Amino acid sequence: MTDIVPASRLFDLSGEVAFITGASSGLGAHFAEVLAAHGAKVVLAARRLDRISALAARIGSSMAIAFDVTNRAGYAAAFDQAEAALGPVTLLINNAGVSGQPRFLDTPPEDFAFVQGTNVEAVWHLSQFFAKRLVAAKRPGAIINLASIASFRVGGTSASYAVSKAAVEQMTKAHAFELARHGIRVNAIAPGYIWSEMTEAHLNSEAGKAMLKRVPQRRAGDPSDLDGTLLLLASPRASGFMTGATIVVDGGHLTSFG
């Protein structure tokens, strides 16, 4: 019979090096603190170097790198710098993302291109770069993508955003299928409405308050509501037989029609 692994060891990320995009605020910054608290070394990657430098100084076992997910020419230098300081990167968190104009008929071509370039193309290209690096080194690893409840349904959300997050959900499956034989797991988290700098104005508006009344739990999520899912997917012990999965964390929002 397999030995029971205590939770303290099951979610111990010692030896893992996580590269987190969009780490300067919101979920990215929170994820960095959670992973570091569980033993991982963390690479904070974002365009706002001042913010991630302050965060890196606070949490320790981490470093800040100025990084633009849409600039493929900068990938190699960023990973070389990270690995020289912290060791081989084993975990990629594709967190960086943008929203866009709210309605299909009002969305200019350049706005659609910007949203897809950040939310879809950058996730594809960075995941490919990271996976090739792992395969060449014959190392296992994991990728965690940030999908959304907009991956599964649309409504008042931005049409271009919904399209991009649907692509991320399907991309997660496609990449998981190909990378499984290399020992690389690919999974996604699909949050509902979570309190953050990006969502605060909407959630405090009358429209936002009305929307929350239609969520079965009658509230938006706190970033900490995603901690268990993040740790599950990050830990090779806890989710070693999981790949291609998207875990919804939304207070039951997808079960309702609202």
Q: Which of 16-25, 118-127, 178-187, 202-211 shows the lowest mean pLDDT across its residues?
A: 202-211
Q: Which of 77-86, 138-147, 193-202, 222-231 has the lowest mean pLDDT?
A: 193-202
In this predicted structure, the answer to whether residue 8 has a pLDDT above a threshold of 90 is no
The C-alpha atoms of residue 168 and residue 94 are separated, in whole angstroms, by 10
Query: For 205, left (φ over 0), alpha (ψ -120 to 50), or beta?
Result: beta
- The SS3 assignment for 191 reads strand
Residue 256: the pLDDT is: 86
With a cut of 90, say whether residue 2 has pLDDT above it. Answer: no
The 10 Å Cβ neighbour count of residue 56 is: 21
Q: What is the pLDDT of residue 101?
A: 78
Q: What is the mean pLDDT of residues 101-122?
A: 93
Query: Would you state the pLDDT for residue 166?
Result: 97
Query: What's residue 201's pLDDT?
Result: 86
Domains of the chain: 7-195+224-248 (3.40.50.720)
Residue 157 scores a pLDDT above 70: no
User: Which residue out of 19, 67, 112, 161 is catalytically annotated?
Assistant: 161
161 is an active site residue:
yes
Cα separation, 149 vs 247, whole angstroms: 10
pLDDT at 257 over 70: no
Q: What is the pTM of this model?
A: 0.96
